[in-house]
Structure 1
Amino acid sequence: MNTVTQKIAPFHLSSAAREWLSFSICLVCLALFVISAYDKITEHDRFLRGLVKVKYISDYALFVSWAVPITETVIAVMLLFPASQKPGLYGFTLLMSVFTIYIGSMWLWAEKLPCHCNLIVEKLSWGQHVWFNIAFIAIASYALILQKNGFKHKH
């Protein structure tokens, strides 16, 4: 008697489920950057004053104060459209990694810890902030893994 053995992946998602989950992650990342950019633009003077206090950024504070929310907005728009989601996720992951390195270095070496991220994140401790960023980097990376082979669209 022959036994047929099927190898079943422990956690397999259909193409449609991967696409839905990836898009959901993009929307969460988009929301974080839209909220953050909006807060940095509407509270620009406060954001700029905070950057001026940072030793290595102070000379470039005006540029950074506009570059960060503009970059966040561009990445958020990229996350909205399927054709640009993958580069948007790479941009999101890169920018969140830069923010995390910045926060980690400030946490380790700065005497005063200015945080002007947005209304949600600035209520966190510095340690919580680092873990928050790492969690977002992880979910964005997971979305990139989900998109690795693309999605099969039925037309």
Structure 2
Amino acid sequence: MESITERNRSFRFNDSIKEWLVFSICLICTFLFLFSAYEKIIDHSRFAKGLSKVSIISSYAIIIAWAVPILEILVSILLIIPKTHRWGLYGFAGLMILFTIYILSMLLWKETLPCHCNLIIEKLSWGQHLWFNLAFIAIAIIAVKLSEPNLKS
């Protein structure tokens, strides 16, 4: 009788499916960040004003308001270049983790929650936004794992 661990070891995606999944995840993440960066740049004053209402970061609101969309664009570029997509996935996951920490801190310590998100995200509650971020962090981690080189013994 075959054990569960033996069956799980035998279940593997072939390389073309892995490449397709990683490519698809990179495209989705790229779209999310480029759209988000575009919205933050187009309506920059709204984004900066929203950040300035958060006391802990208000002193750095202008810097953050420019740094976030620039970083989103740079990570998007890394995501769409095949040789750098793993770095892009790490950058994507890292930024999403930072955004998630920000959301958690807002939920835990802020009485009034200012929303300075883009058109898609602003329709979500803060709790839904948290789950949205966690889902994207998970798919980025999955893509990193799928893009790891095969180590055959």
Note the residue ranges of structure 1 that are not aligned, 5 or more in a row.
1-5, 151-155
Tell which deviates more after alignment, 114-123 or 36-45: 114-123
How far residue 17 of structure 1 moved from its aligned partner, in angstroms, is 0.7
SS at match of 2:115: coil
How far residue 121 of structure 1 moved from its aligned partner, in angstroms, is 0.8
Equivalent residue, structure 1, for 2:117: 117
Q: Which amino acid aligns with 1:73?
A: I
Residue 51 (structure 1) aligned with residue 44 (structure 2): no
- How many percent identity over aligned positions? 55
Normalization by structure 1: what TM-score? 0.89
Question: Cα deviations across residues 77-126 of structure 1 (Å, max 9, x unaligned)?
Answer: 11001111000000000000000000010011112111222111111011
For 1:7 and 1:134, locate their aligned partners in 2 and report how far apart those are by CA, in whole Å: 29
For 1:141 and 1:67, locate their aligned partners in 2 and report how far apart those are by CA, in whole Å: 24
Q: Which amino acid aligns with 2:27?
A: L
SS at match of 1:133: helix
For 1:83 and 1:94, locate their aligned partners in 2 and report how far apart those are by CA, in whole Å: 19
User: Which structure has the greater CA radius of gyration?
Assistant: 1
User: What's the RMSD between the two structures over aligned residues?
Assistant: 1.4
Normalization by structure 2: what TM-score? 0.91
Equivalent residue, structure 2, for 1:80: 80
For 1:12 and 1:84, locate their aligned partners in 2 and report how far apart those are by CA, in whole Å: 24
Q: Which amino acid aligns with 2:112?
A: K
| Cα gap change, 1:122 to 1:10, in 2 (>3 Å) | farther
For 1:35 and 1:11, locate their aligned partners in 2 and report how far apart those are by CA, in whole Å: 36
For 2:8 and 2:67, locate their aligned partners in 1 and report how far apart those are by CA, in whole Å: 48
Note the residue ranges of structure 2 that are not aligned, 5 or more in a row.
1-5
For 2:125 and 2:35, locate their aligned partners in 1 and report how far apart those are by CA, in whole Å: 19
Instruction: Using CA pairs under 8 Å that are at least 6 residues apart, name the structure with larger relative contact order, 1 or 2.
Output: 1
Tell which deviates more after alignment, 33-42 or 8-17: 8-17
| Cα gap change, 1:12 to 1:109, in 2 (>3 Å) | same
